[in-house]
Amino acid sequence: MRLPLVLALAGAVTLAGSSARAADAESPASELPRPTEQKRFYGWQNFVVGYGGAILAVRGVLATNMLMVGTGAVTWAFGGAVVHAAHHNVGAMIVSPFIMVGVPLLFYELGALTEGGSSYRSKENGLALAGLGALIAPIADGLLGWERVPKSFALAPEVGRERVALTVLGAF
């Protein structure tokens, strides 16, 4: 009793596949359904890399370990670019180091201008605002972390001696 059911299912799948291919061959290319895309956020990875590098650098300063400071600073400045490169986002990869270094420098200059730019107090203000810029930069870099991924799936029937299965495949 199971064998006729399995053969009927296999025949239906084969028939449906061949009729679908025939319909595709008859329809013009403009009428073919296009795979839909969805936007996916990967910017959280930039947050982790940026703040992880900052924590490593601060820990290195507290421990007076210059290797740790340098590693943290390089990770903080260029880690976001590596994440963008891994997701094939070339524009964000190029802009990322400029954001990570430029935002704190811009904030430092704004703070230094508050007291005329020559006093000790102006440098304190600049450093405080540079710290704020260093906190904002990974967020700004992470907001560039969007990618388009295809949203597709397929049903794959399996017919064997002992079982019949329907497998769902895809990227969701």
**Which DSSP state fits 139?**
H
Q: Is the pLDDT of residue 154 over 70?
A: no
* Residues 102 and 69: beta-carbon distance below 8 Å: no
Of 15-29, 86-100, 115-129, the one with minimum mean pLDDT is 15-29
Q: Is the pLDDT of residue 27 over 70?
A: no
Q: Where do the domains of the chain lie?
A: 1-33, 39-147
* Residues 157 and 9: beta-carbon distance below 8 Å: yes
Give bridge partners of residue 171 from the DSSP assignment: 152
Alpha carbon distances (Å) from 17 to 20, 22, 44, 110, 140:
5, 9, 42, 66, 48
Note the pLDDT of residue 63: 95
Residue 19's pLDDT band, with cuts at 50, 70 and 90, is: very low
Q: Is the pLDDT of residue 51 over 70?
A: yes
Residue whose entry in the numeric block shows the structure tokens 């595709």: 24
Q: Could you tell me how far CA 139 lies from the centroid of its own chain?
A: 13
User: Please, which residues have CB within 8 angstroms of residue 68's CB and are 6 or more apart in sequence?
Assistant: 56, 57, 59, 60
Note the pLDDT of residue 20: 44
Task: Report how far residue 44's alpha carbon sits from residue 85's, in angstroms, rounded to the nearest whole number.
Answer: 15
* Residues 112 and 125: beta-carbon distance below 8 Å: yes
